[in-house]
Amino acid sequence: KMSETASFTDPVFLARFGLFRFNALDYFLHPLNPFKTKSKTSNEVLLMQGIDIGTLMQQGTGGKPGPLSPTVAEDEYNLALSRLTGEQYELLPPPPDFDINQSQPLFVIRHVMRTNSSTNKVLGIYYILEGVIYKSPSVRSLGKANVTRTLEGLSEACDALGECSR
């Protein structure tokens, strides 16, 4: 099992392409990314068909000729993903006040198992912060860390009270 503090970065990709909404999934799907599943994902199936957000922005689709806005291209990509089943990575929407043309320091990616167009099970959450990919901590590990911090604080308080009573 991988450490909760593990991370991945590809400085060559970042220097060559930068990191934007339209290529964040491409960056995450890097073959050396240790967080990426070893199974073939629907994202990779779409990529083999020449479908990714950046290509959709440039060329459009059969029904919507390009160029497409980043938002429309992302919607078309998500629609194509929803038609496939199996493991997938989804780029979660940006904050409501986000300007799609601005660079963004944080991207959130959800790993799901899709069983039909409207049903999926979340397998993991990842985030890309300033070009570094991390796995989000589990609820269990967050709870464990909070309990540990609380117990350490209580222990220190008891030690301090013990010193005062002498």
3-state secondary structure 147-166: HHHHHHHHHHHHHHHHHHCC
> What percent of the chain clears pLDDT 70, i.e. is strictly above it?
87
Indicate the pLDDT class of residue 78, thresholds 50, 70 and 90.
very high
Whole-number Å distance between alpha carbons of 62 and 149: 56
75-96 mean pLDDT: 90
Q: Strand, helix or coil at 100?
A: coil
Task: Yes or no: say if 76 and 64 are a contact pair by the CB < 8 Å rule.
Answer: yes
Mean pLDDT of 15-19: 92
* 3-class state of residue 18 by DSSP: coil
At which residue do the structure tokens 């590990």 appear? 141
- Across the range 132-145, mean pLDDT stands at 73
Closest to 81 measured CA to CA, from 39, 105, 124, 110:
110
Burial letters 52-65, b for 16+ CB under 10 A, else e = bbbbbbeebbeeee
pTM for the whole thing? Answer: 0.77
pLDDT digits 0-9 by tens, 28-69: 999 899 999 888 999 999 999 989 998 999 988 888 887 888
The more confidently predicted of residues 150 and 31 is 31
